[in-house]
């Protein structure tokens, strides 16, 4: 898968509806070196780099990384851990870092559609 081994505990990744706000979607992202692998649908992902990553995702990464929360090593992460915010409550509608390379970003449905390549979102 993309030349990067995936921990066996994760399995296939895809977006999941937010548990508190059904207008928001939790989107798994794996950052390896300078690549962002964004899992935008069942069996479908988009790969970005620092230059091509959409601004809305860049701002979420900046907020998450500024928080400085501790995270698990990739070898210890479970699928449930990835999709669950166990960090700061203020990140609940932004996203969080689940492990050394895995993040979960929270986006609205229009943003997710634009990431899939469907409609354009100027946000």
- Mark 64-103 as b/e (b = at least 16 C-beta within 10 Å): beeeeeebbebeebebebbbebebeeebbebbbbbbebbb
Q: Where are the domains of the chain?
A: 16-116
> What is the DSSP code (8-state) at residue 66?
H
Q: CA 49, 64, 5, 24 torsion: positive or negative?
A: negative
What is the pLDDT at residue 80?
83
Q: What's the pTM?
A: 0.85
31 bridge partner residues: 36
- The whole-number pLDDT of residue 9 equals 46
Q: What integer pLDDT is reported at residue 8 of this predicted model?
A: 41
For the chain (123 residues), the mean pLDDT of every run of 10, in chain order, is: 47 88 94 95 92 96 88 86 89 94 96 80 41
Handedness of CA 59, 41, 38, 25 (dihedral sign): positive
């Amino acid at each position: 898968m993309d030349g990067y081994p995936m921990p066996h505990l994760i399995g296939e990744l895809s977006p999941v509806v937010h548990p508190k706000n059904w207008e928001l979607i939790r989107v798994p992202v794996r950052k390896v070196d300078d690549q962002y692998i964004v899992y935008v649908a069942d069996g479908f992902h988009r790969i970005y780099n620092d230059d091509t990553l959409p601004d809305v995702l860049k701002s979420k990464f900046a907020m998450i990384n500024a928080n400085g929360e501790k995270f698990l090593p990739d070898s210890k992460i479970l699928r449930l851990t990835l999709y669950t915010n166990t960090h700061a409550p203020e990140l609940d509608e932004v996203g969080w870092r689940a492990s050394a390379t895995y993040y979960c970003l929270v986006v609205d449905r229009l943003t997710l559609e634009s990431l899939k390549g469907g409609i354009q979102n100027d946000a």
